[in-house]
């Protein structure tokens, strides 16, 4: 199946039987992120988590809005 990264608009081809493809089929297509973007978001999230408890809830909401 063809999927489009929501962040950088890269079109990727997923193997239909792969776990990722199955997961995406059960969710809206716009939740797909390519690997480089996924890593970038993950690093940013971890960096924010590392800053401590203060503003944690607020930060996670902000990340969700960016999606
Ligand atoms: Zn991307």
pLDDT tens-place values along the chain, 67 residues long: 899 998 999 999 989 999 888 888 887 655 788 999 999 999 988 888 787 655 555 555 555 555 5
The secondary element (H helix, E strand) that includes residue 1 is none
Distance 39 CA to ligand 1 centre (A): 9
Domain residue ranges in the chain: 2-66
Q: What is the pTM of this model?
A: 0.56
Spell out the alpha helix ranges (H) of 1-67. Answer: 19-25, 35-50, 56-66
48 Cα to the center of ligand 1, angstroms: 20
CB 24 within 8 A of CB 17: no
* pLDDT value, residue 8: 94
Q: What is the pLDDT of residue 59?
A: 55
d(CA 46, CA 39) in angstroms, rounded, equals: 10
């Amino acid at each position: 199946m063809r999927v489009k990264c929501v962040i950088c608009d890269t079109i990727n081809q997923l193997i239909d039987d792969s776990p990722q493809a199955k997961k995406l089929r059960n969710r809206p297509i716009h939740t797909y992120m390519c690997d480089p973007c996924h890593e970038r978001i993950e690093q940013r999230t971890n960096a924010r988590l590392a800053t401590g408890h203060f503003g944690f809830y607020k930060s996670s909401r902000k990340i969700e809005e960016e999606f």
